[in-house]
Each structure stands twice: as structure tokens, then as C-alpha cells.
Structure 1
Amino acid sequence: MPHPLDSFFAPASIALIGASRDHEKIPGRLLSMLRKNEYPGKIYPVNPNYADIDGLACYGSIGDIGAPIDLAVIIIPARAVLSALEQCAAAGVKNAVIISSGFAEEGGDSAAMQDAIAALARRTGMRISGPNAEGFFSQVQHVAATFSPAVDVKPGVVPLVATKKRIGIVAQSGGIGFAYYHRARALGIAVSYVVSAGNESDLGAGEFLDYMVQDSSTEVILLFIEGIRDVDKFLVAARRAAEMKKPVIVTKVGRSGAGQRAAASHTASMAGWSAAYDAVFAKYGFIVSNDLDEALTIAAVLASNPLPKGDRVAVVTVSGGAGIWGADTVALQGLQVPELSEEVQVGIKQLMPSYGTARNPIDVTAQGVTSGGLQKSVDVLAASDEVDAILVVLSLSSEVRRPFKEEELTPVLSAQHKPVVFYSYTVPSDFARRELAKSGVVVLSGLTHVGVAMRRLVDFAKFSLPKPLDANPAAGTRPFCTSEIGGPVRGRQQVVAPRRRHCNAG
């Protein structure tokens, strides 16, 4: 079913208002990023100071183009933005991204300019992202409507891709949103969308979340939020994600007094009452993470594995000490590391030298890599009903040696019987990452984060949306009222009122 934001994330034509020939400056980088990422649609630079830019005809105004425009990307001085938007609306432009800063985050007259933008969006129906946004990247559609260097394309560099499942990223900080993307790309996690919400004069995190939830190419969602303004839309999207069992990993900042002050000046956001946000996250099964690398590790595990049926973990290693460390890590997260049955141990002992151990953690020793014992042990555990997940702990520093054969590992992982998570206690080489990526493996290098990720995977597998306390259909579907994640909204800016809720929590 079509979504109202389809023409935003997959525009057939883009106008760059304020385009420049200087690729070292933001207006020039916008055109460069679109072209480097092979945007397939039409691009119309708009700047009265140029007749052409990089081989494209340049127009004096949006009205001069005379063709349908799905998206306008605006990077001009703040006081000229409203007039440009009026011209966009008159020309029938469907969507706009305002990169320009200097609005509600500054207060005073600048905030009034943002209020005028919000009023224009309501009056005309044009959907507007920003101002003070870093744009967005639709990787599937090759739309790099951003100046972020994270989406730059280096000639001759083949991207690392380990997962078939893609993650979508919604952030109220452009820098952090594209940091998620940058780190995801380094791990080999495929991405569907990255969107920077900016000041949210019109489009907010709730609507962007809703788009990711219904999008078939997005299977895991990462959120970075300071405060929610479009509360109703956010709650509807959250419930839909829970009903679809689509995982949402969320980082909520602005919990401290200092963080709330910074959030207010950053994107004119008021950070809200942490306890209320936490209640909403818990109700809808959001996975809360307060660390960037941890959040990406959780996303990597979700994007490369099925959900487990229980909390029993087998640890397989080529180093006794590293295996003990891995077992301790998952056990400290409340997961079980059960001793395997005699029958399973006997089978595994045949795959390792006499000085190995098969009890769990399973140490096949370094010899197990060359003898095939490591792979065969994973095969046995994948088929066993004694464990629900496997943690493989090994060294992947070699630039030439493969610990697994692709033709043997791929069928086991593709069968998706249970999660198999790979942790390298040495710095993984690019060779190892790329070789294992062929089998769908994301190599992880933070053991504590791995332990947390496996715990969250178990928790999410067990989560189910609570039934409403009030089953009366007339009560509607809205489970929380605005006071639960902030106060009333004045204009487009949320006003914090840390009070208890007085509405039905169903």
C-alpha cells in the first residue's frame, strides 16, 4: 500500500535550491553526493547566480523549472527560506528538506520563522523536513539528499555487505544518525534509510518511524531521540511495530539536566520526562541502548540472526581463556551456559584434540580451525535442542587464513535454526570480515556489547504486546496521552511537564 512519504524517500525529481559549483561547501556537496550515489531521477539546480552547474542547466527560481518536482532540498540563508518555500508550494513541489539552520534553536524572531514554516506546511499540504536537518539517505533508491561525508563513494572501494536484512535509522541529530550509518557500513550491516529530523517544523520522528515500520525493505529500526513532538503519530507507529514484531532499538538522550539544556538549544527540543519515555518503550517492546556501539551490535545481531527459542547459549572457541570470558559475559547477562549432555560431548570430543574440552564452553583449540573441528562443532550445536544460541569466540586477525569454508558455513547459517554470533578477540582483518560476510556473518569485536545484544535478543523474542485494559472499541486505540512523554505542544515545540499520567495505559 502506498505511503504518504513515498515521494519524499523515493523522489523522481529533486530541486537543489542554493546549489553551488563549489564541492567543498555544503551546497556543492549536495549535488556531488546525489551523483556519486547514482541517483536515477532528474536533478534541477536552482541558483540565479549560475547558468549551469556541473553540466546541468541551473534555474533562477523553482518556478522557472516548469516540470514536476517531488523534493526540494533547501540550503540558503535562514531569512530567505520562507519565501523559497512559498515558491515551492506555488510550483506544486510535494516535499522539502531544509538544511539551513538559524530557526527555533536560536529562539526569538528565528523561532517565529520556524512557526511560519509550520503554518505553511499546514496550509499547503507540502511536507517539510527540518529546518536544521542534515537530510536523508535512501540507500535502496540511491537518494543521497544530504551533505554528510558518511555517504561519500570512494572509487574502487567495494562496500562490505554481510546482511540481507536492512536497518532503518531515524535520528534527531544528523551527526549521530549518519554516525550509525557509517559504523553499520563498516560492520557490513545493510541499511535502508537514514533520516535526520532536524527541528521538525512539520515532519517528525513519529512519522519517519511510521514509514520505517511499514517499509518492507526495513527489518530493524534504530532511533536516536531527544524528545517527541508528534506524540500521537509516534505512539501509533510504536504500536504497529510491536504488532508486526519489528524490532526498534532506541537511544533517548537528554535525561540529565545538562542533557536537557543541550537538547533545547540543539534542535529546539525539550527532552521530557525520562520515566514516561521508559514506560512507553517498555510497553511497545523497544530495545533501549545508551551506547552507540552497543546499539549497532544489537542491530547487527538482529539483522543477521533469527530470534532464539530460549536463553541457553553454547560458547565455542579456539582459545580456552577467551571461551571462559565469553561464557562469563553471557552468564552475567542472565543467560544460561548449560553443560552439554554426555551424548553431545562425546560427539564433539571426536572433533578436537584430547586437550580440548566439550562441556560448554567448548574449546576446540587452535588445531580445531585447521582440522575442521570448529565448523563441525557449530554444525552439531546448530542441530542440538540443548542450546538456543551459539557464540563463536575466535581470532580473526589473519589476512590470509579462513577459519570457515563458505560452502560449509553458509548452509548452516542460512537454515536460521538459531542465532550464531561471531566475536573476534583480536582486531578482525578486512579479509576476515569480507570472507565471513559471504556467509552472512557480521564480525563483532566488543564482548560486553555482544553479551548485551544476546540478552536483548532473548528478551525481544519473549515480548508480546499487552492486551488493552479497556477493551471498549469506543475508547479508541491511542494507548497513552501526551502527558506521558512530555507536556502539551505549543506551536511545534514540546513543553515539558513532568507529571504523572491520568489516562488509560491500555
Structure 2
Amino acid sequence: MKTINFEQEIKSLLPLFQPESLAIIGASENPFKPSGQPLVSLINAGFKGKIYPVNPKHTTLCNLPCYPALIDVPGSVDLAIIAVPAKYTLDQLQQCADKGVKGVIIFTSGFAEVGPEGAKIQMEITELAQKTGMRVCGPNCMGIFSSRNALMANFSVTELPEQVLVPDFLGFISQSGGFGAAIYQMIKEKGYGFSHFVSTGNEADVDFSQYMGFMARDNYTRVIGGYLEGVKDGQKFINATDMALQNNKPILLIKAGRYPAAAKAAASHTGALVGSDKVYSAVFKQKGIIRIESLEEYQIVLSILASNKCPKGKRIAILATSGGSGVALTDKCSFYGLEVAPLQAETRAKLDNVLPAFASSANPVDITSAILTQPGLLEQCAEIVINDPGIDMLITAYWALHGDRTNLEQMVRVSKKTDKPIFNIVWGPEEAALQALHFLNDNLIPAAKEVDFAIRSLAVLADYSEFKTARSNKNNEDYSIQAPPSAKKMAGEILNNLKPGAKLTEYEAKQVLRAYGISTTREVLTKTTEKAVQAAKEIGYPVVMKIMSPDILHKTEAGGVLLNIATDQEVVESFNKIIENARKYNQDALVQGVLVQEMLSGGTEIIVGAGKDPVFGSTIIAGLGGIFVEVLEDVALRVAPVSNLDAREMLEELKGKKIFEGVRGKEPVDKNALVEIIQKVSRLVEDFPQIAELDINPLLLFPKGAVAVDALIVLQ
């Protein structure tokens, strides 16, 4: 789907969020029923639009005229809520279409979530929506809340919040009604204002990605949040994330389903290594989506964003009232990837001037319990440290005292003078700590009792800032590697003439790779011992010999690979042995011949591969290759297309990345060549989407250049 079409889709959602008139089909005035809550809540909240209850059993509801059917409503209706039993829903939806309603919210359950019959009716809902252009939220949803016009078109958000510290802040989308409502309540109590809240339900028409795109374009949404189980269309999701990036809006998602059942075995290593959650994680990394691991973390990340002070880097300073707590915080910061950076000499000198002699001005700064006897010491030290140009953020840790706001007020003053985040870890008796946290929160000063949640939150936001900075450099976002027409023609002559599900031999796969400018070993496919001897002489001893059969993909297991063949006689013996082993392994295998190949020494074994995800399409992996890919699974994953920066970040993620720099006397390898090959593989699978799996394993990486030693391609 092209972005321009997606733009049109999200513009069509406007009636769901900003209707000027709203009908409630199956309306009630009982505030405890889903059909009654919206009517009561809309009136109480002062909805800025016309409200039309529809129910043949009533003539008035909540002092409003009630109409027997939607067709009887005078004038146009922008949005309709359907709150009738499932068996009547489709008929009412058709009446909405006949009336020209632009948006519909279906509360009713009993569709795809209950079985095949319900799924069939849901499909009819989808078809009607697509046919008419009417946008449908649900079915089986809790509806939509929009704060700007007091739109209470739901049965979970029943009243406007009493206190909003940060208005027009968070747009939240949930694929779980109940869980989403709980998150809404929790965040609302913090005083962070919602622009919109959406319960998506079964997504018969409008899906998670479209709501996300709408909020990315919405002027009254600063942060996009959500509870996500899965998306239907990966390209729509990526389009929405790109829109959010363009508009400088962080996306915070709780993604469920991290540990699904193992995928069935695939023909290639790549296929076996790529699981659904790994692909989502890759997309999140590529698009700067912040994955939230808990509700506690959600609140803390939001508190930092609400203060409008996101850390611009990972250098953190620690200000603690004891040496032990400072060391413990240092360990936690290091664990989550933050750098406890040394303070500049000038900073330390200023600290030494105000600290007692037994304190420490090194980072972590130990200000000791002197804050109890030296009024203003905490404020003085915090201000000195946060102004250090080598520090991106500060975390302070101190005890809350009953009824004493001295330290809290000091930290409020310091925070208001800086654009760097200052996070307060507040310990103490339960009641005193809670009072302190409420006071700081009400002043939009990030604070918590939980060290892990706090430090991880700072770390993920620092990552987000670095992500944005890296992508502000257009050279990093280079997708420019293109295959010349001749390359597409050469590869197409092989790939486009094969049946679906075909498996290419190493020899065929390497022809495709060479067409795309990826160097391979010198080799000759032979069908007789005489040709094999001739090929070996031309290539030069020693050589490798391999069975070539589309029915024997893992050649080593079949005894189909022999190494270090050094003489003509060994070539003859090896040829016959390989054919014999292949017949024993699979007597029905189609044998194309024996590949005689140059034997390379040295080099670092790498795997570069591609797989196919049902949601996001082609995926690219890179990591340590050879047999180690099966044992260590040290690979990084991205979704095509892969930019120059994506490829470089993949290499940085590998646990074994130090190997690239050279170990035990080896020279550093050519990482630029590897980055280029990753991008070429990405381009190849984009140009030929019928490729389901591709392996280059091993790819030998040298100080200059890289050579594909073995390869496999499997078509969908």
C-alpha cells in the first residue's frame, strides 16, 4: 500500500473522533448498561454536538427525543453507536449505510471471537464497510473517547478527569478493552491528559495502524501509546510509524505475545531463527518504537515525557545520600546501558567547595546525610551537577520525611532551571514516600520508588533520542543500493522460471547472488569425473567438492561435502564417494552433478539471510555464521528495506561484534563490505518477493572484501 492511500484512509476516520452529530442505536438511560453509559456520559460531559437516541421502546430518553429507527432521525448523522444484540447488528449497520452515516462504533460482541458463524457475519460487516466507505470501529469493542469535544462514545470512560496537568498529551489505542480501560484509569489519575482513547475490538474495518496514523497526524496528540497483540498489515503499521517520526511523536507500545509457540522448522537457518516477536522487535528498532515492559514503566516513561525533558544521550550523573546507594544505582545504570560519566574537574571543584570533607564529588556523588544539617545542600549539588556539559541527565536518591517538603521543593526549583531530565528516587516510610511522589508528580517532576523501572525508563528514552539523532543524518538513511536492469534480468531468468516452492541449489543460488554484485567462490558444476579433474586443475588445488541437488539442501548431513582435495586421484575418488553418499541419503533425489569449488582459508564466518514474515514481508538477518549460527543464534534482524544505518546497527547488536575488530592477531574485517551485502540481499528480496528464504552461510569476511562460500534460496 502506498503512503498516499494510507493518508486518505486516516483522513476518513475524522467522523469517528470529531462528529457533529451522533446517534445511539439501542439507547438506554441506564448508566450501568453499555447502551446507556454513552448517552448519560455525553450529556453530563457536555458533548459539543447533536445527540439522537434510537430505540422503538421509548419516545424520550434523558429528556431528549428518542426515535424509533435511524431513518427517522432528522438531518444527517456523522457517527452511530450500535448497541443491540449481534443478530440485529448487520441490519442496523445497513440502515447506517442507507442513512449516509460516516462512522460507526459497534459495541456488540458475538462475532469472530466466538467462532465460524460469528466470523462469517463479521466478514459481512467488513464487506459493507469497504463497499460504502463507512468507517467501523469494532465490533466487540468498548468504543472511543475524544477529549477536545467531550466525545464519550464508549462505555469505559464515563466522565471527564477532574485534574489534567498536561492536556492534549496521550492518544491511546488498545486491542484489549478491559486492559486498556485499566491503563486509562491509571494514567488519568496521574493527571496526564488523553487526546483520544480507542478500544479497537475485532477490527473488522479500522485497524490499529490506522488509528495510530490518525493520531500521528492529530494536532492535539503529543505521544502515541497502545496495547498491541498484532497487526494485520505490516506496511500500514510502518506507514503510521513513519508519520509519527515525521511529526516528532514518540510511540510507546506494550506488545503482548513475546513467547509464542516455536515456529515449525524451515528449510533454511534464517527461517528457523525468525519468530513473530523477533520481527516485531526488529520493526520497533527500525522505527524507534519504545517497547514498554510493564504498567509501572509506562507511568514513569510518561512522567518524563510529560516534563518535556527527554534525555539527549546516555551520560548520567548520580546524586545519592549514601555511598552504598550510589554504587547500587551505578550498577543498575550500567546494566541498562547508561554511562555513569566522569564529572569535569570544574564540576568536582564546585562540589568540593560545598560538600563536607567526608563526602565524595566523584560520580556517583555521595552527599551523605549532610542534607539534614545543611539546608539547601541538595539543591546546590544538583544544580552544579546538572550544569556539567558532559552530563545528559541526573538521578537523585534521598529519603522522604513526614511533613517536610524542603528537599522536594529544592528539586522542583532545580528542575525548572534546566532542560535536562532530573529523576528523583524517593525512599522512606510508605505514607511519607507517597506524599512526596504526589507532590513531585503534581509539579511534573519525574519521581518513583522503584529503581529498576526508573533507570530502564531513562535508558529507553535515551535510546529514542539517539535513534532520532542518527536518523536526522540523511546519509544514514541511505537505501540507494539499486540493482542494474541487467542484474534483474539475469536473476529473473532463473527465479521467474521456477515453480512455487522451488529450492535452488547452491550453484543456482550463487548465480543469483553474483547478478546482484555479491562475490562468490570460483566453482564449476561437473557431471563426470573427467570434468571434475579438469575443473580442479583450472581452479587450483586444494579444492572442495559438493553434491548439487535441489532435494539435498543440507549437504554436510548427507555426506555430500568433502574438503582439502589435493590431487587428481582424490578428485575422482571424492566424486564417486559424494554420488554414492547422496544416493544412500535420498535415492530419489535429483542429482545435478558435483560442484568443484576453490577452498578458501582464513576469513570470519558470517551468515546473511532473508526470510518471509506473513505480516511485514521480507526480513533480513546477519550474524556469526557456519555451525555457530545453530548453536549461538547470535543474529540481528531487520525488515526490508534495510538502510545503511539499519545494517550498521545490526552489526552493533551482535554479541560477537568484537570479532569484527580482529582477535588473537587477526586483522579487522571489512565491515563496509558486509553492510553492502546486507543491503544487496535486502534489494534482491524486494525485487523478487517470491523469495521465501535465502541463506548465505558461510559468508567469509576478510580484511578487504567478502566471499559467499555457500548459499540457498527457497521460493514461496
TM-score where L is the length of structure 1: 0.83
Shift of 1:122: 0.9
Residue in 1 that maps onto 2:446: 442
- 2:151 pairs, out of 143, 146, 167, with 143
Shift of 1:233: 1.9
Q: Which amino acid aligns with 1:405?
A: E
1:77-156 matched pairs, under 5 angstroms: 77-148=85-156, 151-152=158-159
1:31-110 matched pairs, under 5 angstroms: 31-110=39-118
Shift of 1:230: 3.5
Deviates more, 1:278-287 or 1:334-343: 334-343
Q: C-alpha distance in 2, partners of 1:6/1:385?
A: 45
Shift of 1:471: 6.2
Q: C-alpha distance in 2, partners of 1:439/1:365?
A: 26
Residue in 2 that maps onto 1:263: none
CA contact (8 A) 2:343 2:388 kept: no
Deviates more, 1:274-283 or 1:250-259: 250-259
Q: Which amino acid aligns with 1:168?
A: G
1:130-164: CA deviation from partner (whole Å, max 9, x where unpaired) = 0011112223332222211x55458xxx4262x46
Q: C-alpha distance in 2, partners of 1:259/1:201?
A: 28
Assess, with a 3 A threshold, how the Cα gap between structure 1 residues 351 and 177 changes in structure 2: closer, same or farther: farther
CA contact (8 A) 1:63 1:91 kept: yes
CA contact (8 A) 1:423 1:445 kept: yes
1:263-412 matched pairs, under 5 angstroms: 273-318=276-321, 320-365=323-368, 367-368=370-371, 371-396=375-400, 398-399=402-403, 401-405=405-409, 409=412, 412=414
1:486 partnered with 2:624:
no
Q: C-alpha distance in 1, partners of 2:234/2:459?
A: 29
Using the aligned pairs only, state the percent identity. Answer: 31
1:14-33 matched pairs, under 5 angstroms: 14-33=22-41
Q: Which amino acid aligns with 1:48?
A: P
Q: C-alpha distance in 2, partners of 1:283/1:445?
A: 32
Residue in 1 that maps onto 2:420: 418
Shift of 1:199: 0.6
Deviates more, 1:289-298 or 1:232-241: 289-298
1:469 partnered with 2:450:
no
Shift of 1:343: 2.8
1:327-383: CA deviation from partner (whole Å, max 9, x where unpaired) = 322122121223434432332344445554332223434552671222222222232
Aligned alpha-carbon RMSD (Å): 3.3
Assess, with a 3 A threshold, how the Cα gap between structure 1 residues 102 and 171 changes in structure 2: closer, same or farther: same
Q: Which amino acid aligns with 2:118?
A: S
Q: C-alpha distance in 2, partners of 1:332/1:376?
A: 29
- 1:241 pairs, out of 227, 240, 244, with 244
Assess, with a 3 A threshold, how the Cα gap between structure 1 residues 402 and 145 changes in structure 2: closer, same or farther: farther
CA contact (8 A) 2:22 2:80 kept: yes
Q: C-alpha distance in 1, partners of 2:348/2:96?
A: 70
- Structure 1: unaligned runs, 5 residues or longer: 261-271, 476-480, 489-499
1:216-245: CA deviation from partner (whole Å, max 9, x where unpaired) = 222222222111113332121122223444
Deviates more, 1:77-86 or 1:163-172: 163-172
- Aligned residues between the structures: 472
Q: Does the residue aligned with 2:436 lie in a helix, a strand or coil? A: helix
CA contact (8 A) 1:173 1:224 kept: yes
1:227-265: CA deviation from partner (whole Å, max 9, x where unpaired) = 1113332121122223444221222213434799xxxxx
Q: C-alpha distance in 2, partners of 1:392/1:189?
A: 23
Q: C-alpha distance in 2, partners of 1:485/1:243?
A: 27
Q: C-alpha distance in 1, partners of 2:221/2:197?
A: 11
1:195 partnered with 2:203:
no
Q: C-alpha distance in 2, partners of 1:5/1:387?
A: 44
Assess, with a 3 A threshold, how the Cα gap between structure 1 residues 40 and 395 changes in structure 2: closer, same or farther: farther
Q: Which amino acid aligns with 1:372?
A: G
CA contact (8 A) 2:142 2:199 kept: yes
CA contact (8 A) 1:399 1:429 kept: no
Q: C-alpha distance in 2, partners of 1:502/1:146?
A: 36
Assess, with a 3 A threshold, how the Cα gap between structure 1 residues 299 and 502 changes in structure 2: closer, same or farther: closer
CA contact (8 A) 2:111 2:122 kept: yes
CA contact (8 A) 1:172 1:198 kept: yes
Q: Does the residue aligned with 1:144 lie in a helix, a strand or coil? A: strand
Q: C-alpha distance in 2, partners of 1:415/1:401?
A: 19
Q: Does the residue aligned with 1:105 lie in a helix, a strand or coil? A: helix
Shift of 1:103: 0.4
Q: Which amino acid aligns with 2:72?
A: D
Assess, with a 3 A threshold, how the Cα gap between structure 1 residues 450 and 130 changes in structure 2: closer, same or farther: same
- Structure 2: unaligned runs, 5 residues or longer: 1-6, 264-274, 486-609, 618-636, 644-716
Q: Which amino acid aligns with 2:85?
A: P
Deviates more, 1:86-95 or 1:352-361: 352-361
Q: Does the residue aligned with 2:309 lie in a helix, a strand or coil? A: coil
Residue in 2 that maps onto 1:185: 188
CA contact (8 A) 2:259 2:277 kept: no
Q: C-alpha distance in 1, partners of 2:169/2:309?
A: 14
Shift of 1:127: 0.5
Q: Does the residue aligned with 2:22 lie in a helix, a strand or coil? A: strand
Shift of 1:4: 2.9
CA contact (8 A) 1:160 1:434 kept: no
1:253 partnered with 2:261:
no
